[in-house]
Structure 1
Amino acid sequence: MRRSLTLLATALVVLGVTTACEPDPGPTGLYRGIQADISPVVTPKNSGVVWGGAPVIDPNYGGTLYEGTPIEMQDPRPAAVDGRQPLRYWEADPDNGVTNRPAIVWIHGGGFAKGIDSMYGLANSTGKEYAQRGYVSFSVEYRMDTTVMAPTTTSLCQWVQDNVDPDDPVWVERKDTCAANITAAQRDVLAFVRYLKANASTFGIDPGKIAVAGFSAGAVTASNTAFQWDDVGTVAYFPGDDKSPLDSRPNAAIGASGCTFNFDSPTGAPDTADISDAPTSFIASEFDQAVNYQCSVLSTQAARDAGLVAELTSYCGESGHANTLYNQHKAETDEQWTTFLVRQLAIYSGTREPTAAPFCP
């Protein structure tokens, strides 16, 4: 969906970067390096805060999940309320006395089917590390369809990607379900961005400095929120939610192994990007078996063609995926992401210029 000229003009104002920020203090400075005097307060594992709700999309909700597979379990999520799933978040707060802080919304992976216990772990690991840099980190829950290809644990979306056959009605049906699941995740995260902006003073964050971040399915969702931020749906998630597209738009997106899918393309090529979309900084491996590398390339190229900052560090000859790839290249990725964030969120001036690294040949 493309924006009206009025919406585009308004969004371009949002994109403006002020020059009245402090000079970049270097790799050990606040928001760049881990600060020895910051001890983040992390929401306890069993105490996720319910921020909103949306219609349940999981046919297994409240019952046995992944039945007949090695990961079979009882659903640990809160009971549905009037057919709506309560959505939770976990927070890693720097608790350093600073107000108007930048925030990062972390989105877990799992093929849009798994990872329902991943939110706390993400808040208490990567989220906590970025909170030690000064960012308020939120690890957000989103709706999932826990259908897997039993007796394996292959997610529905992974099966769709691995078995493309437009002439097979079973594939088409599953493709449509997967696409709906991906859209639900995107809209849930966009709604959470609106929630943060509506409650910015409570959280002590700057509503104009909110980034989204993720791994695997979480990186796909981060990419989707960057490029499809005006697709907010019709559901109101919390009291006073006006579903404003501009209030849904993140200011930046980072991720490992993610792109914006178009299921009508065999490579997952995205629709063209728009100058009003958010800047991105991603990493990907050439032989990733879960997220097609060419989708990452095409998403990045579409954004660059639109005049956007779209960074992609490609690890040619490698096959690492998501968290594995990040951990293999952690130091350089953190440098890439933190320098990107302080520039695009207008935290510091004088940091590195945006990169447009070549893709794998």
Structure 2
Amino acid sequence: MSDLRDPAPYDALLLLSFGGPEGPDDVVPFLQNVTRGRGIPAERLKEVGQHYFLFGGVSPINDQNRALLDALRKDFAGHGLDLPVYWGNRNWAPYLTDTLREMTRDGHRRIAVLATSAYASYSGCRQYRENLADALATLAGEGLRPPRVDKLRHYFNHPGFVRPMIEGVLASLAELPEEVRAGAHLAFTTHSIPTASADTSGPAPGHGDGGAYVRQHLDVARLIADAVREETGVAHPWRLVYQSRSGAPHIPWLEPDICDHLRALRADGAPAAVMVPIGFVSDHMEVLYDLDTEATAKAAELGLPVRRSATVGADPRFAAAVRDLLLERAATERGADAERCALGALGASHDRCPADCCPARTPRPAAAGADSPQA
């Protein structure tokens, strides 16, 4: 990691996340925010929200972000990095626009942004950049001078993100009964997205065949599987699979679904499986319900022993990785050379998204990109 300790030109870090309800009365309003513009009736949203109601109407993502905020602040302070850290969400309080307004009034003029999505896709990157552009436009409409924002690069292959997941798989394998452990399959899971969105993820030269979204996940899965083999001496079979599909049935989405995959593993005689949620920074609802509840119940029905490995969450190594990403980008913005930590075959991602990166169906302004106006 970089030895530099100078965050200039940045004077603050913004943790940008999805948000989630924090009580039963929040569920439908939260889902209305998520689905804004689609005209979905409230009664239908109540049905969709049953996953949240099973957990008291509370998504774990906000507490996960509070823990990450605390980890970042402790890491920064422990390494002499005097930089305030703020938090804003797309779909629930603290809302992004409110947080950026607060940061502007606090005098911050150049803000680094860490999104809680490690991979390239429209929903995982460009949509956050569109939300930033909308928020900055709102501030300008209020007569405020918007700050400049720079989104930190994708960190899917940063060692501070990958190593905790490796250890999570090792721990989950150790929890399996000894007689099935060596034959256990690794099911690397991430959020399914429409194939058309996957195919156009990342810069245009790499579009098609799942685009950057699939390539990046495959690279991380391979890194973890190889590390597990090196540390255990066992080459566990593995596959990248998907979960949490929410689209219309006639639209192709990435497959196979985790439950279908577990069914296929059992039919093929697999003795056990470890579900590895590499597509998720923390244990939010898609992990708690789709894996810990639904997929685990399916495995029990099939008689297939399964474990679910841990997400990165607020692991101190991830907090250190964020510091590394911030200082790396700061040095680059100052025109200095900076080590760009990355594992695997794909190397470090770009700093500024190209104009053709993860395009939206309907073009909208997006901040922090090569084609974005700078404040």
Q: TM-score, normalised by structure 1?
A: 0.36
Q: RCO (CA 8 Å, sep 6+): is it higher in 1 or 2? A: 2
Bigger share in strand: 1
